[in-house]
Amino acid sequence: MPRLHVNVDHVATLRQARREGFPDPLAFALECEQAGARGITCHLRLDRRHIQDEDVARLRAGIATLLNLECSLAEEILAIACGSGADAFCLVPESRQEVTTEGGLDVAGERARLAEAVPRLTEAGGLVSLFVDPDPHQLDAAREVGAPFVELHTGAYALARGAAREREFERLARAVEHARSIGLRVNAGHGLDEENVGPVASLEGIEELNIGFAIVAQSLFHGVGGAVERMLARIG
Which residues would be at the binding site for ligand PXP (CB under 6 A)?
A: 7, 9, 43, 70, 90, 92, 100-101, 131, 151, 189-192, 210-214
Instruction: Tell me if residue 153 is catalytic.
Output: no
Contact 85, 126 (CB under 8 A): no
Out of 70, 94, 151, 208, the active site residue is 70
Pick 63 or 155: Cβ nearer ligand PXP: 155
The residues pairing with 209 across neighbouring beta strands, listed in sequence order, are 4, 188
Out of 5, 10, 50, 190, the active site residue is 190
Contact 90, 151 (CB under 8 A): yes
Residues, the chain: 236
Q: Which of 5, 25, 6 minimizes the C-alpha distance to 14? A: 25
Residue 23, φ and ψ in degrees, nearest 5: -70, 150
Out of 5, 43, 50, 153, the active site residue is 43
Residue 61 CB, nearest distance to ligand PXP (Å)?
22
What is the C-alpha to C-alpha distance for residues 193 and 212, in angstroms, rounded to an integer? Answer: 9
Cα 137 to its chain centre, rounded Å, is 21
Residue 66 CB, nearest distance to ligand PXP (Å)?
14
What is the C-alpha to C-alpha distance for residues 170 and 122, in angstroms, rounded to an integer? Answer: 32
CB atoms within 10 A of CB 136: 15
CB atoms within 10 A of CB 12: 22
Contact 60, 53 (CB under 8 A): no
Residue 195 CB, nearest distance to ligand PXP (Å)?
13
Instruction: Tell me if residue 178 is catalytic.
Output: no
Residue 229 CB, nearest distance to ligand PXP (Å)?
17
Q: Which of 197, 207, 203 minimizes the C-alpha distance to 227? A: 197
Instruction: Tell me if residue 43 is catalytic.
Output: yes
Pick 63 or 71: Cβ nearer ligand PXP: 71
Residue 63 CB, nearest distance to ligand PXP (Å)?
17
Q: Which of 110, 92, 121 minimizes the C-alpha distance to 190? A: 92
Pick 42 or 63: Cβ nearer ligand PXP: 42
Pick 31 or 101: Cβ nearer ligand PXP: 101
Q: Which residues are tagged catalytic?
A: 43, 70, 190
